[in-house]
Amino acid sequence: MKRECEERLAQITSGFRECRNAFTAIGDETRQLILLALLESDLAGIRVGEIAQKTHLTRPSVSHHLQILKEAGIVAMRPEGTKNYYYLSADETQWKEMKELIGLIYTSIQHMGAKE
């Protein structure tokens, strides 16, 4: 039992390291607005101008925040000619790793509660 807890804590520590930038990126309210706009769009993605309209942000601001989200592995981008389409993808981004990390933390908390 103790070894299992130690292994889970090591996995959680590693998960925090791997997901740190992603969690930091989604903690910003402006980037949350952009994520909501992306969630409302279809999987084909939307362009900066469309995101700016939906969020009432300027194009430069949207571009800046999209770059942060992209670098953090939260948003994917598909170029089509001279246009870039931004979208959310479970396969191409950090979302799966973040979900697994939260699941590990939740499991650890449940095990702590069972000991009481």
Q: What is the pLDDT of residues 91-103, one digit of tens each?
A: 888 999 999 999 9
Buried b (16+ CB within 10 A) or exposed e, 18-55: ebebbeebbeeeebebbbebbeebeeebbbbebbbebb
**Among 2-6, 66-70, 80-84, 92-96, the least confident range:** 2-6
Reported as a single tens digit per residue, the pLDDT across 6-65 is 898 999 999 999 999 999 999 999 999 999 999 998 778 999 999 999 999 999 999 999
Domains and their CATH numbers in the chain: 2-115 (1.10.10.10)
Under 8 Å between Cβ of 84 and 48: yes
Q: Which amino acid is at 101?
A: L
Q: 4 or 71: which carries more pLDDT confidence?
A: 71
Q: Rounded to 10 degrees, what is the CA torsion of 2, 99, 68, 59?
A: -160
**Length reported for the chain:** 116
Q: Please give the pLDDT value at position 97.
A: 94
